Amino acid sequence: MEQKPVYRHEEKYLITAADRIVLSSRLNAVISRDLNTDPDGTYRIRSLYFDDPENSAFHDSLDGVYRKQKYRIRMYNNNSEMIFIEKKIKSDKGGIKLREKISATELRSLTNGNYDFLLNKDSAVCRDFYSALRCGIRPVSIVDYRRTAFFSQAGNVRITIDDEIRSFAFSGNFFDPSSSGVNLTDKGQCILEIKYDAFLPDHIKKLIGIRDMFRCGFSKYSTGRNTL
């Protein structure tokens, strides 16, 4: 039986490259690094986003629609053994991410329009994704970036800092985009994201210094589509 998804609070802040260095050092001294990071404390993420012919996901993000969802395929740390279909849902309750692992071969098949294999997987995410593909969603853009990540068991808090954020139009090859991409932030700016369950512990609030930061609704997908 699949577990019932849990909504989590999500907050995003726009910070500078200097903030990233200071904050990473501060967090590293107090809470744990994400176990999936490289020795330098970072890893790469590449996401392939899907949208329908009316670009509904794109416009929902720009218009600030309260309840929305989007599909993406995400590869972690340039590892073809770590590829997932992900369904992201946002509402007034918070955010949910559901995912299912697929192979590089299955990804190539899917982007070539052959996705019946999804019906053979015992996964609600794959069934939903199959239905969405049948209704006309298609791959439209890639976003690639570096992530620094931390985790605290208190409050089940995950803190990430994303930089080197670039976007590409999807040209058919997820593994080798045909251009150098477009930078999505100015002058080395980074995106700080904080996710937690019921509460954000006070000591983490103080550690991050949230009161002095500018909260934003930065969407990598919609920002990237706006530049392409």
- Mean residue pLDDT of the chain comes to 91
pLDDT for the residue 128: 97
Domain presence at residue 1 = no
Nearest alpha carbon to residue 138 among 172, 167, 105, 166 = 172
Question: Span 133-139, mean pLDDT?
Answer: 97
Task: Provide the CATH number for the domain around residue 56.
Answer: 3.20.100.30
Domain presence at residue 15 = yes
How many domains in the chain?
A: 1
Domain presence at residue 2 = no
Question: Span 62-71, mean pLDDT?
Answer: 86
pTM of the model: 0.93
Look at 36-45, 116-125, 129-138, 176-185 and tell me which has the smallest mean pLDDT. 176-185
Domain presence at residue 4 = no
Higher pLDDT: 132 or 179? It is 132
pLDDT band at 2 (very low <50, low <70, confident <90, very high): low
**Is pLDDT of 188 > 50?**
yes
Which 8-state DSSP code applies to residue 121?
S
Domain presence at residue 163 = yes
Which residues, 6 or more positions from 95, have their beta carbon under 8 angstroms from its beta carbon?
Answer: 7, 8, 9, 10, 88, 89, 195
Which residues, 6 or more positions from 27, have their beta carbon under 8 angstroms from its beta carbon?
Answer: 150, 159, 207, 208
Structural domain boundaries enclosing 147: 9-227
